[in-house]
Structure 1
């Protein structure tokens, strides 16, 4: 069986575009929640509704994206001959490429 790495890379790169939303939501919760409690950042001054509302929004969106990502990669994994210990981390990193591009250039 031939290794079709480009299917997995292309699927993860395409999935990386909507991944920007869950990454931003996780960053926002971390900055206004645990990291602010540790003193690493300052909370948004106008964020006075608490974090429970954000968790109600963030948890379903992140869960849906992770489930979709896992199902897509599990399907693409069938045609790839790479070892699982290489395949999954590389797929995760390729998915984060659009988010990293936005952070670097904007």
Structure 2
């Protein structure tokens, strides 16, 4: 399984489908929290519960996904001879590809 990028890319593309949920949660927290405080975005006018509720909901989801992503990539990385400076950025981009595709096409 040396230098078989299709395994790493496929695993991360598959991980990218459920990654849409944690990416959306992080985006929602950023838009209604720190980015709105800096003036980069406008808060949702109906969002009056605060961000703490979303942090409590998002923290376990993001943590579980990040742990699962790391474990899958650790397993696949052992069987790949690519340099780490190439492997990890490619895996992150492959994981984020479904989220980017949804942002662009929907």
What secondary structure does 1:96 align onto?
helix
Q: How does 1:19-98 map to 2 (within 5 A)?
A: 19-98=19-98
TM-score normalized by the length of structure 1: 0.96
Instruction: Point out where structure 1 has 5 or more consecutive residues left out of the alignment.
Output: none
Q: Aligned-pair distance for 1:10?
A: 0.4
2: CA distance, partners of 1:4 / 1:79: 9
What secondary structure does 1:40 align onto?
coil
In structure 2, the partner of 1:105 is 105
TM-score normalized by the length of structure 2: 0.96
In structure 2, the partner of 1:3 is 3
2: CA distance, partners of 1:76 / 1:2: 11
1: CA distance, partners of 2:30 / 2:3: 38
Q: Give the aligned length.
A: 106
Moved over 6 A (4+): none
2: CA distance, partners of 1:45 / 1:32: 10
Q: Aligned-pair distance for 1:5?
A: 1.3
2: CA distance, partners of 1:23 / 1:87: 21
2: CA distance, partners of 1:2 / 1:84: 14
RMSD (CA atoms): 0.9
Q: Aligned-pair distance for 1:85?
A: 1.0
Q: Aligned-pair distance for 1:2?
A: 2.4
